[in-house]
Amino acid sequence: MPPRTPAAPVTLDAVELRILHMPLVSPFTTSFGTETVREVIVVRAETSDGVGWGEVVTQAEPFYSSEYTQGAWDVLTRFLAPALLERRAVAPEEVAGILAPVVGHRMAKAGLELAVIDAALRADGRSFGQYLGAEKDRVPSGVSVGIQRDPAALVDTVGGYLDEGYVRIKIKIKPGRDIDDTAAVRAAFGGIPLQVDANSAYTLADADTLQGLDAFDLLLIEQPLQEDDIVDHATLARRLTTPVCLDESIVSDKAAADALQLGAAAIINIKAGRVGGYLEALAIHDRCRAAGVPVWCGGMLETGIGRAANAALAALPGFLLPGDISASARFYDRDIVTAPAVLEDGHVRVPTDPGLGVEIDETALDAFTVHRERITR
């Protein structure tokens, strides 16, 4: 799906890749493990008109997704970046097609595409929000809360985020840490907007347990079953009154179309990295909006680069639920942009300067860099 107004091509001279290790302010625990340091790849596209920045949202290990940092690094350096550099003059809307011969590796492709978009829009003097068709200047901010030591600790943590002003709470769940945790949060805070995220931790055999969550008036249950269990998600959705939202299963516009046709999802979480880029995310948004299906923007513990891009995406009219676009301080004491996202009255502002609308803190970038490579033609 093309953007509302396409961008002019840029002349790509080089691509610089960096692996960063960024300490988290506190451990982040989900059904697939605990992170204390965010490992992320930052992409710098060097063009004749300036530079652009992107972010590859893989994790160090292939537990959330089959993609992981070292695999993304390999495909970026050996295949994806050389393919773009060979073309030299590249419009952002052409990136996906150029990279299509490489099967999969959507997160790597998304980071490279974003860097090209940022460079092109900086040259055009347009913001990313304008490019996508954003209709809001700020977006409501939800927060994702990892699995805590026990329900009491979870209640304390959630209370802190509510005090900070977050307008929606999402708690991570897994077998054995679901009903009691959800009940504790609902009992402590009444009718707050609350949803749960299973990160594929259950099977259809757990349907009775998941039905137990219907008692808590949740906004949604996110990705209860495995990524490829679209049919089972449809079966489960018919047994629950809580709306089923798909995350890991939505890897493309085609996957979204299939899920909607089968009745596997009443709501869709759009993550640009997971679907191969922000233009594919735009296509999913447009499809869901036409079908009357609400979407929201999920998070991958992004740096200020991805956080700015997500804010612009979430400002599109079909994003009807608060996303995981929290303040940078939710995860990092120090970000790699000069003006990190902050929470203002429960919202995060959509950047309006050209490109992604953020500038890189080169000192912080260098401090977190553990490996770098510059690729030329």
Question: Which positions are annotated as active-site residues?
Answer: 172, 271
| Structure token pair of residue 90 | 């590249």
Q: What are the C-alpha distances in Å from 187 to residues 99, 184, 367?
A: 49, 5, 43
Give dist(CA 80, CA 17) in Å, integer: 12
Distance from the Cα of residue 306 to its chain's centroid: 8
Using CA atoms in the order 79, 72, 63, 264, what is the torsion angle rounded to 10 degrees? -60
The helix, strand and coil proportions of the chain, stated in percent and rounded to the nearest 5, come to 40, 25, 35
Using CA atoms in the order 251, 252, 254, 255, what is the torsion angle rounded to 10 degrees? 20
Give dist(CA 180, CA 200) in Å, integer: 19
CB 196 within 8 A of CB 186: no
Q: What are the C-alpha distances in Å from 83 to residues 53, 59, 77, 102, 110?
A: 18, 24, 10, 10, 14
The bridge status of strand 221-222 relative to strand 194-197 is parallel
Among candidate residues 273, 325, 264, 319, the one with its CA nearest the CA of residue 296: 319
- DSSP bridge pairs for 374: 16
